[in-house]
Chain A
Amino acid sequence: METQVSPQLATSADRAKRRARRQNLEGYALISPWLLGFFLFTAGPMIASFVFSFTHWDIVGKMSFIGIANYRRAFTEDRFFVQSLGNTLYYVGGSVPLRIAFALGLALLLNRGVPGLRFFRTIFYLPSVTSMVAMAVLWQWVLQPRTGLVNVLLASVGIQGPAWLSSPVWAKPALIVVGLEYIGPQMIIFLAGLKGIPEQLYEAAELDGAGTWAKFLHVTLPMLSPTLFFNLVTSVISAFQVFTFVYILGSQMGHGPMNSLLMYAIYLYEQAFRIMKMGYASALAWVLFVIILVLSLLQLRFSSWVYYEGGAA
C-alpha cells in the first residue's frame, strides 16, 4: 500500500493512483443506495427464502429443517400445485402470443401515417394506467352472465353468451381477452422499434418487387426482432406472476369455477399468508423462479432469429 511520499518523489503515476482510488470511492458512494438495497432487499432475501424452502415454519413457532419434503410434496402430493401451475401455463401460453400479436398489429396500423396518431396512442395506453382493481371491478360487472354488457350485446344478435367468469371453460379465456387491454407499453415499444427501421430498406425491397406481405416478412420482422425478443421475454416473466386481477375476481367466487382461476401467484400467496406455511410457500417461490429462469434461458438460447443491426446484443 502506498504510504506518505515526500513531495519530490510524487510522480504522475502516484497522482493517477490516488485519483483512481478517489474515483472508486466516489463511484461506490454514488451507487451505495442501490447496492445497500440490493443486499438488504434482494440478495439477502433470495438466499433466505432458499433456506426457508427446506424448512417447516409458520412464522410464530420454531423453524424446523425438513430437507426437500416441501418440494417432494409439491410435485407428488399437492394437486393444487399442479392445477395452479397448469392454470398459469394456460394463461401464459394464451396471453403472451395474443398480446404480442395485438400490440404489434396496433403498432403497425398506427405507423401507417393515419391522422390522429396521438389520439389513438393515448386511447390504447389508457387501461394500462388505470388501477387494476378498478378494471377488475368493472370487468366483473361487464361479464355478468345475464345482465353484463357483453352478454346483453351478444343476445341482441341472438347469441347466448356463456357465464364467463363462472364457467370452468370460459373463465381463463375471458381473463386472457381482458388482458389484451394492457398492451399499451408493448405497443409503444413496438412503435419505437418500427420508427427505427430505415426507409431505404423498404425502398430497396420494393425495387426487388416485394409486395406488402413480403416487405413485412423480410424487412419489418427481422428489423423488429430485438424488440420482439424483449417484449417476449418480459411478458413471459410478468404473465407468470399474474395476481391482482385474479385476486379481485376471486374474492367473490373463491378460485373461480372448479378452481380454474387458481393461479400460481395466488396459491403461493395463500400458502404463505393465509395458511402460514412459510417454508412450503418459499419452495413454491423457488420453483417459479427456476421455471422463469429456464424459460428465459431457453428463449435466449433459441434466439438466433433475432437480428442485431450493430453486431452484439
Chain B
Amino acid sequence: MIARRATVFIVDDDPGVCRAMSRLVRGAGYAAREFSSARDFLLAHEPEPPGCVLLDVSMPDLDGLELQQRLLEQGCQRPIVFLTASDDSRNVVRAIKAGAIDYLTKPVEAGVLLAALTEACRVDACGRANWERRNLILGRLALLTPRERQVLEMVLSGFMNKQIAAQLGTVEKTIKVHRSRVMNKLHAGSLLQLVALAQAAGVPVSGTHGSPT
C-alpha cells in the first residue's frame, strides 16, 4: 500500500519564516501549505489530508495556543508542533498538556524540526489507521444477527457455551454454530483476536461474569 504524501500545514504571521519552513519541508518530501493567520487556517482547513500542523505561538488576533483549543473543540485530531520566537516557558506546559507533539524555539535546527514533524505525521497516520480499522470492524459487526450479537456479548463477558445456552434457552450445539458464524463474520481466528477486535471497535469486554448457575 502506497502511503499518501503527508502535508505540513504551516501557520506563522512572519512570511519569511513561512517561506523558509515551506522550502525545508518540501525538500524533505512533504507537501506544504502556508497560512499567515490562525483564522485563515481555520477557514481553509480540511481534516481529510494526512499530515500535521507547524504552528507559531505568538500571532496577532488568534494565537497558536488558542488555535489549539479551537481545534480540540472541533474534535480535530491533527497533531501540532509548536514553533516560537519567544522564551515563554508557561506556554510550553499548556501546549503539551493540550496534546502538542513538541514545542520548539526559533531559530530551529533542520534536524530537530524534521524529527518533530516525522513524529507528528507518524502519530497522525497511526490515528487514521486506528480510525479506519475501527470503522471496518463496526461495519462487520453490523452484519451480525441480533442473536449472534447476543452470543458475542456473552462470550466477551466470559461465559462458557454451556452457560450461554442455558441463558438463551437453547442447546450448546446451537451456540457453537452462532459462535462460529460470529468468528467468520468478524474475521477472527481465535478468542484472543475476537477480544482485540471488540476493544478496537469500542465494544465492551468485561471478561467477568456472574456466578455460574
Q: Do A and B bind each other?
A: no
Chain B interface (Cβ < 8 Å from any Cβ of A): none
Chain A interface (Cβ < 8 Å from any Cβ of B): none
